[in-house]
């Protein structure tokens, strides 16, 4: 519930509106998970609530810790689905949580482990928000000196395919009376659903935007991201150029580097040309392996050469070093694989031919 929903709920019970706000604040500002802790409510009200409602929609099923300190949380929904969030402590103060927006994903990017699950269902706003609260609790236990500073919607799923719950979760998390997350520290990553991007630009909540571009032209993007056949690079960039960016903000483009597919100097040149004049930066993500995917991570020298060429051409680029890849927690590795059942890597093969035609949206 948003704060407004909670007030409406209270009124529907015949309670004063402020009681809705009291309850909501306990949950979202104080982080309590039982009605008993709501000490400014009468015993009778607390009992009524406990009989009819519950707080929190997820249970922590498993926490895996990487050698680099990254923690992957496997969380269970009330209907027995599993999703994953990743808590990433960076050097210094920054601690980022990467959350899921769906169980699986329908977009079918050829390089992504989540795609292999297909789409099971959308998460509701409570399930999105609860990932933040459970991660905060874990952080308080394992690293009490740290605070969650950044939130990225880059886990399982395509957030813009779950638009209403995405926006609802942002409203709840950014509410000044609740968890008070700063919009400028939240990033929503999308494969580029053009109509939804246009809609997001008109909302009152304004997270940062990351767009999975992954290719310098339609030919390559069609091959690795079938969604490009519906909204190609031209349409995507037109929508992004029209997107109302807050002052001093830039769009982040993600570029998963796949050996022999999109990693040549020519690709770097095309990319720099494509993005000239767009207020942006590019995050280069060397492909993170997962079983049965027909790709390879480029050699370090190739990655360097690609980045240097982009920089030489004036495109700001950053290399994302994989975090938590030893526990399958790095970008594109989330697919509900439990620690002990991790499948060994199959021999890799570089694929250049187009994949079989997938459903587009
Ligand atoms: N669905 C959203 C957010 C989740 S995917 C989106 O696609 O933007 C988050 C990022 O992981 C995307 O930029 C995607 O391109 C990248 N990614 C997916 N699989 C990957 C892999 N195996 N290695 C590296 N990055 C990957
Ligand atoms: Fe879905 Fe993002 Fe993976 Fe593509 S990269 S399949 S959009 S989660």
Say whether pLDDT at 13 is over 60: yes
Whether 255 and 267 have beta carbons less than 8 Å apart is answered as: no
State residue 202's pLDDT score.
95
State residue 343's pLDDT score.
35
Which CATH number do you get for residue 2?
1.10.150.530
Pocket of ligand 1 contains residue 112 by CB under 6 Å: yes
Say whether pLDDT at 356 is over 80: no
Classify residue 342: in a domain, yes or no.
no
Mutate to test the pocket of ligand 2, among 158, 187, 255, 293 (most ligand atoms within 8 A of CB): 158
Higher pLDDT among residues 96 and 291, named by residue: 96
Q: Are residues 142 and 225 in the same domain?
A: yes
Write the pLDDT tens digit of every residue in 266-306.
999 999 999 999 999 999 999 999 887 889 999 999 999 99
Indicate the helix (H) or strand (E) that contains 269: helix 265-274
Q: Are residues 100 and 153 in the same domain?
A: yes
Look at the chain and report how many structural domains it folds into.
2
Q: Are residues 129 and 188 in the same domain?
A: yes
Pocket of ligand 2 contains residue 189 by CB under 6 Å: no
Classify residue 261: in a domain, yes or no.
yes
The closest of 262, 268, 178, 277 to 228, measured between CA atoms, is: 262
What whole-number percentage of the chain has pLDDT above 70?
93
Q: Are residues 46 and 122 in the same domain?
A: no
Active site residue 98: no
C-alpha of residue 331 to centroid of ligand 2, in Å: 10
Classify residue 346: in a domain, yes or no.
no
The closest of 241, 240, 231, 233 to 215, measured between CA atoms, is: 233
Which ligand is nearest the CA of 282, by number? 1
Q: Where are the beta strands (DSSP E) in the chain?
A: 58-65, 71-77, 82-89, 95-98, 102-104, 119-122, 150-153, 186-190, 208-212, 251-257, 280-286, 317-319
Which CATH number do you get for residue 169?
3.20.20.70
pLDDT tier at 346, thresholds 50, 70, 90 = very low
What is the residue with the minimal CA distance to atom 1 of ligand 1? 158
Pocket of ligand 2 contains residue 114 by CB under 6 Å: yes
Q: Are residues 35 and 94 in the same domain?
A: no
- Residue ending a domain, among 33, 55, 77, is 55
Long-range contact list for 15-22, CB < 8 A, 24+ apart?
A: 15/45, 19/45, 21/177
pLDDT tier at 21, thresholds 50, 70, 90 = very high
pTM: 0.92
332 CA closest ligand 2 atom index? 3
Q: Is 18 exposed, middle or buried (0-12, 13-18, 19+ CB in 10 A)?
A: exposed
Say whether pLDDT at 51 is over 90: yes
Classify residue 360: in a domain, yes or no.
no
Task: Specify the range with the lowest mean pLDDT, choosing from 96-100, 132-136, 277-281, 354-358.
Answer: 354-358
How is residue 353 annotated by DSSP?
S
State residue 360's pLDDT score.
53
Q: Are residues 15 and 103 in the same domain?
A: no
Active site residue 93: no
Q: How many CB atoms lie within 10 A of CB 280?
A: 19
C-alpha of residue 104 to centroid of ligand 2, in Å: 9
Q: Of residues 98, 105, 310, 331, which has the active-site annotation?
A: 331
Q: Of residues 7, 84, 109, 280, which has the active-site annotation?
A: 84
In the block, residue with structure tokens 């246009």: 198
How confident is the model over 76-100, as a mean pLDDT? 95
Classify residue 343: in a domain, yes or no.
no
State residue 336's pLDDT score.
78
CA distance 105 to 357: 17
Q: Per residue in 171-183, is it b (16+ CB within 10 Å) or e — as a string?
A: bbbbbeebbebeb
Q: Are residues 48 and 135 in the same domain?
A: no
Q: Are residues 103 and 118 in the same domain?
A: yes
Q: Are residues 125 and 222 in the same domain?
A: yes
Q: Are residues 139 and 192 in the same domain?
A: yes
What is the residue with the minimal CA distance to atom 3 of ligand 2? 112
Q: Are residues 255 and 218 in the same domain?
A: yes
C-alpha of residue 155 to centroid of ligand 2, in Å: 9
Instruction: At 163, list the tokens.
Output: 């638009």
State residue 355's pLDDT score.
45
Domain limits at 8? 1-55
- Residue ending a domain, among 18, 38, 55, is 55
State residue 349's pLDDT score.
33
Which ligand is nearest the CA of 262, by number? 1
Pocket of ligand 1 contains residue 254 by CB under 6 Å: yes
105 CA closest ligand 2 atom index? 1
Q: Are residues 18 and 76 in the same domain?
A: no
Classify residue 182: in a domain, yes or no.
yes
Classify residue 337: in a domain, yes or no.
no
Say whether pLDDT at 345 is over 80: no
Classify residue 339: in a domain, yes or no.
no
What is the residue with the minimal CA distance to atom 12 of ligand 1? 212
């Amino acid at each position: 519930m948003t704060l407004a929903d909670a007030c409406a709920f209270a009124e529907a019970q015949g309670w004063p509106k402020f009681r809705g706000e009291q309850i909501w604040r306990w949950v979202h500002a104080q982080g309590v998970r039982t009605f008993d802790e709501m000490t400014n409510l009468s015993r009778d009200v607390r009992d009524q609530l406990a009989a009819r409602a519950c707080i929190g929609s997820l249970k922590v099923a498993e926490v895996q810790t990487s050698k680099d300190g990254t923690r992957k949380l496997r969380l269970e929904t009330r209907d027995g689905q599993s999703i994953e969030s990743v808590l990433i402590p960076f050097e210094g103060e920054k601690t980022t949580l990467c959350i899921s927006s769906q169980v699986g994903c329908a977009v079918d990017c050829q390089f992504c482990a989540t795609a292999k699950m297909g789409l099971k269902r959308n998460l509701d706003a409570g399930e999105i928000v609860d990932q933040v609260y459970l991660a905060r609790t874990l952080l308080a236990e394992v690293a009490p000196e740290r605070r969650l500073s950044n939130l990225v919607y880059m886990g399982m799923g395509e957030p813009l395919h779950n638009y209403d719950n995405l926006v609802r979760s942002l409203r709840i998390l950014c509410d000044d009376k609740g968890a008070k997350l700063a919009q400028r520290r939240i990033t929503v990553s999308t494969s580029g659903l053009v109509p939804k991007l246009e809609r997001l630009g008109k909302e009152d909540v304004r997270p940062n935007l990351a767009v999975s571009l992954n290719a310098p032209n339609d030919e390559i993007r069609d091959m690795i991201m079938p969604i490009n056949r519906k909204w190609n690079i031209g349409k995507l960039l037109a929508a992004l150029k029209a997107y109302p960016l807050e002052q001093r903000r830039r769009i982040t483009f993600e570029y998963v580097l796949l050996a022999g597919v999109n990693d040549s100097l020519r690709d770097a040149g095309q990319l720099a040309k494509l993005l000239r004049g767009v207020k942006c930066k590019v995050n280069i993500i060397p492909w993170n392996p997962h079983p049965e995917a027909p790709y390879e991570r480029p050699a370090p020298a190739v990655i360097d050469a690609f980045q240097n060429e982009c920089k030489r051409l004036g495109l700001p680029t950053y290399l994302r070093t994989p975090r938590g890849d030893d526990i399958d927690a790095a970008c594109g590795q989330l697919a509900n694989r439990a620690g002990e059942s991790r499948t060994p890597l199959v021999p890799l093969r570089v694929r250049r031919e187009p994949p079989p035609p997938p459903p587009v949206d």
